[in-house]
Amino acid sequence: MIAPCGLDCSACDIFRAPGDPETMGRILRWFEKERGLKLREEDVHCDGCLGDRSRHWSADCWILRCSVDDNGLRSCAECSRFPCARLEEWAGSDDGYRKALERLKSMV
């Protein structure tokens, strides 16, 4: 369940929501309050970044597109340019992303 970017999809609220009513309720309330969106439970789903793309929550993610779609890889750790400057910049924007990049580095 490790995503191409190194994040753990199994720990993601969107991934867990369909089997977890408390998480689902929190997500639906968040979208209504913060985004003015009234989502239905069936709108909230994701099979993980290496799962069915038609059910992916963020199918247009640039990391997913670069690693999986453009380069045919399962993760950035398999890339000859890893870690590229854009991935380093992404990792510098958030502690969770930094940890994800460190996880990928440990997989090389």
Q: What is the contact surface with ligand SF4 in residues (CB under 6 A)?
A: 3-5, 7, 49, 58, 61, 63-64, 66-67, 71, 73, 76, 79, 81-84, 86-87
Which residues 6+ apart lie within 8 Å of 12 measured at CB? Answer: 46
Among 60, 54, 64, smallest CA distance to 7 is for 64
Among 105, 106, 88, smallest CA distance to 97 is for 88
Taking the least distance from each CB to ligand SF4, the nearer of 7 and 24 is: 7
Q: In 9-94, which ranges are continuous DSSP H helix?
A: 13-16, 21-35, 62-64, 85-91
Taking the least distance from each CB to ligand SF4, the nearer of 23 and 71 is: 71
Taking the least distance from each CB to ligand SF4, the nearer of 39 and 79 is: 79
We find the least distance from the C-beta atom of residue 35 to ligand SF4, in angstroms, to be 18
We find the least distance from the C-beta atom of residue 80 to ligand SF4, in angstroms, to be 8
User: Under DSSP, is residue 8 helix (H, G, I), strand (E, B) or coil?
Assistant: strand
Taking the least distance from each CB to ligand SF4, the nearer of 4 and 44 is: 4
